[in-house]
């Protein structure tokens, strides 16, 4: 079996070149750099065009290393320009990722798992059972595919931001998440800064310290309810990690990363949008550096929740701002093609062992 290049961070590639390909010690940096640059900054898809490397070595590399093995099997374009891609993995499983163009930036929303184990009641992704964690190459593969699609291989990046807000819970797949972020952040790799990447979590509290120490990007917390009783009802994960436990870890995150936490709060009509909820939310926000993004609820077939009306979202937001905290209203994108927050889902199922 060949080694998939997209599963290797820079240091892994160096040791692979050394141990498996026989590249001598003093040339390791140069070779790793040539390969990373070509693949992640110029979009190289095989070694035959990498003519800066001697032919003999190229042939060895071709025999031992494979490239992106994911492919786009379907694309959807929303009226607002958002594009959703159905990506097939080499094992036949499928995930979705989304490209969201905006005036001053372009964001890719990537998936971290096939399916999801969390069963948040308002989220369509949560209706698909967890199939598996994505490998680093399956995460990076989504980004490479979208960059290919957009011909985004020049210095002026079209895809300027990456958010881990697709299917799955990134912190449950922390090992592969970390590797993919190392490749994303590597100067010779995809070269995204900490502030261009956001990891969103439903609140896997015990993984947050490791994420603080070893990831260091922006962190978003899907809060969605300001007290344990309500949060447990709509997000079962709260039974395992309650709000105070989360806040303890988030304080640590902000002390290491020195950036506020983005709280995500989907506005569900008659559920979490009262003034009392806003009041409780402000009390939580006072405990650690944070900003809140109020998210319009995106409907999906079969869901029982209704979105809060715009004027009521504005009222909620103003209440928070008047207390001196930062609150933004996030516009929904791509919901006509089920590409918006919480709408991603594929047909992939866990195969039974027979
Ligand atoms: N599991 C991670 C990553 C998913 S991010 C997490 O929970 O953070 C996707 C975001 O969209 C989360 O904040 C999620 O709670 C939110 N979301 C889920 N369903 C939604 C819906 N129907 N409308 C709007 N936002 C939704």
Pocket flag, ligand 1, residue 122 (CB < 6 Å): yes
pTM reported for the whole predicted model: 0.96
Pocket flag, ligand 1, residue 123 (CB < 6 Å): yes
Task: For the chain, give percent helix, strand, coil, nearest 5.
Answer: 40, 20, 40
Indicate the SS3 state at residue 263: strand
Over residues 97-117, mean pLDDT: 96
Considering 123, 314, 341, 347, which one is annotated as catalytic? 341
Over residues 7-24, mean pLDDT: 97
- Better-predicted residue by pLDDT, 309 or 49: 309
Q: Is residue 283 predicted with pLDDT exceeding 80?
A: yes
- Number of other CB atoms surrounding residue 286 within 10 Å: 11
Arithmetic mean of pLDDT over the chain: 96
Express each pLDDT in 202-231 by its tens digit.
999 999 999 999 999 999 999 999 999 999
Q: Are 12 and 143 in contact (CB under 8 A)?
A: no
Separation in Å, CA 38 to CA 44, 65, 162: 5, 14, 20
β-pairing, 261-267 vs 290-296, is: parallel
Residue 20 CA to residue 299 CA, distance in Å, equals 51
User: 341 CA to middle of ligand 1, Å?
Assistant: 5
- Better-predicted residue by pLDDT, 60 or 350: 60
pLDDT band at 354 (very low <50, low <70, confident <90, very high): very low
Domains and CATH numbers, the chain: 3-66 (1.10.150.530), 71-337 (3.20.20.70)
Pocket flag, ligand 1, residue 265 (CB < 6 Å): no
Pocket flag, ligand 1, residue 173 (CB < 6 Å): no
Q: Is 96 among the catalytic positions?
A: yes
* Per-residue confidence (pLDDT) for residue 57, from 0 to 100: 95
* Per-residue confidence (pLDDT) for residue 353, from 0 to 100: 57
* Per-residue confidence (pLDDT) for residue 352, from 0 to 100: 65
Q: What residue owns the CA closest to ligand 1's atom 20?
A: 342
pLDDT band at 342 (very low <50, low <70, confident <90, very high): confident
Over residues 67-83, mean pLDDT: 95
């Amino acid at each position: 079996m060949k080694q998939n290049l997209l599963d290797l961070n820079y240091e892994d590639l160096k040791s692979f070149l050394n141990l498996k390909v026989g590249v001598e010690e003093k040339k390791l940096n140069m070779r790793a750099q040539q390969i990373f640059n070509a693949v992640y900054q110029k979009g190289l898809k095989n070694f035959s065009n990498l003519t800066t490397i001697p032919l003999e070595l190229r042939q060895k590399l071709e025999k031992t290393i494979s490239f992106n093995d994911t492919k786009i099997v379907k694309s959807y374009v929303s009226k607002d320009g958002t594009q959703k891609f159905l990506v097939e993995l080499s094992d036949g499983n499928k995930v979705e990722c989304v490209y969201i163009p905006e005036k001053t930036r372009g964001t890719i929303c990537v998936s971290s798992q096939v399916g999801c184990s969390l069963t948040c009641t308002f989220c369509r992704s949560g209706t698909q059972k967890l199939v598996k964690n994505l490998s680093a190459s399956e995460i990076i593969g989504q980004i490479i595919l979208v960059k290919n699609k957009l011909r985004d291989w020049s210095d002026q990046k079209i895809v300027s931001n990456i958010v881990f807000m697709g299917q799955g819970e990134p912190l449950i797949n922390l090992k592969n998440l970390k590797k993919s972020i190392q490749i994303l952040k590597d100067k010779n790799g995809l070269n995204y800064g900490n502030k261009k990447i956001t990891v969103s979590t439903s609140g896997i509290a015990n993984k947050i310290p490791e994420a603080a120490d070893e990831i260091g990007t922006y962190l978003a917390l899907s809060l969605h309810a300001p007290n344990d009783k309500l949060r447990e009802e709509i997000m079962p994960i709260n039974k395992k990690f309650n709000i105070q436990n989360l806040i303890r870890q988030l304080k640590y995150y902000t002390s290491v990363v020195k950036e506020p936490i983005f709280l995500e709060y989907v506005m569900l009509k008659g559920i979490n949008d009262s003034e009392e909820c806003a009041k409780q939310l402000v009390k939580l926000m006072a405990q650690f550096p944070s900003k809140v993004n109020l998210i319009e609820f995106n409907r999906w077939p079969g869901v029982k929740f209704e979105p809060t009306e715009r004027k009521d979202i504005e009222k909620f937001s103003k209440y928070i701002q008047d207390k001196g905290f930062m609150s933004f209203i996030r516009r929904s994108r791509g919901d006509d093609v089920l590409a918006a927050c919480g709408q991603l889902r594929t047909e992939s199922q866990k195969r039974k062992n027979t």
